[in-house]
Amino acid sequence: MPPSTAPRSWKEKQRQEREALILQTAEEVFCEKGYHETSIDEIAARVGIAKGTVYLHFPSKEDLLVALFRRDTEQVISEVEAIASSPGCSAREKLEAILHLLYGELFKKRTRLFYSIYNSPEMRVLLEKKKEMGDHWGQLTHCLEELLAEGQAAGEFDPELPTSVMLSLFLNLVSVRGYERLVGQEGLAPAEVARYLARIYFKGIAAEHKPSC
């Protein structure tokens, strides 16, 4: 019975749970209404806490967004890197797995805001202040770029295509708009959509004359 660690860890646990709850709620409201249309008051109200409590966890609304971005990016990056470093798979297989990851269950939950951020000039302004966010994102794109280059080197992908173009298009395979249209309105399954997109994309970037033949 450690009298000092137990309470501390309990308090700490409480604290972290609350922080996660704030983040989760903030993400929901940000996604629903957008960053500027969301007030700290509303986030607090939805969590069921007082406004001031939010500020015990995040020093400003902006930092709340940054924390959210970090949480999601780290989550995604670690999963993506796990896939990227899995042995015995071709670059294409890895990228396809990543696409499914991004488009699949995860998407619904964590990447909506995340994608919106980079597409919106609203956010660019904010992001320029917080260099770290750009760095995180850079980590992800760097990882993808290497896979693409690897695939080109291995003769899987068309070597004439600039890697940056392939990367850009790969990132655009996933989009909030597309998701909502295809999954939300048309009723397609995320995995199905991902499969189609992969099919088009990888066929599109495939090397001209596959090895033999």
What does the binding site for a second copy look like in residue numbers (CB under 8 A)? 30-37, 112-113, 115-116, 118-125, 161-162, 164-166, 168-169, 171-173, 175-178, 181-182, 186, 188, 193, 196-197, 199-206
Binding of residue 53 to DNA (CB under 7 A): yes
Determine whether 91 is exposed, middle or buried from the number of CB atoms within 10 Å of its CB (0-12, 13-18, 19+).
buried
Binding of residue 8 to DNA (CB under 7 A): no
Cα-Cα-Cα-Cα dihedral sign, residues 174, 176, 177, 179: positive
Nearest to DNA of 58, 137 (CB atom)? 58
d(CA 162, CA 183): 31
- For residue 77, which of 145, 148, 140 has the smallest C-alpha distance? 140
**Number of helices and strands in the chain (H, E):** 12, 0
Shortest distance in whole angstroms from residue 189 CB to a second copy: 12
* Residue 119 binding target from DNA, a second copy, none, CB below 5 to 8 Å by type: a second copy
Under DSSP, the state recorded for 88 is T
* Residue 181 binding target from DNA, a second copy, none, CB below 5 to 8 Å by type: a second copy
Which residues are near DNA by CB under 7 A?
7, 11, 14-15, 18, 37-41, 49-53, 55-56, 59-62
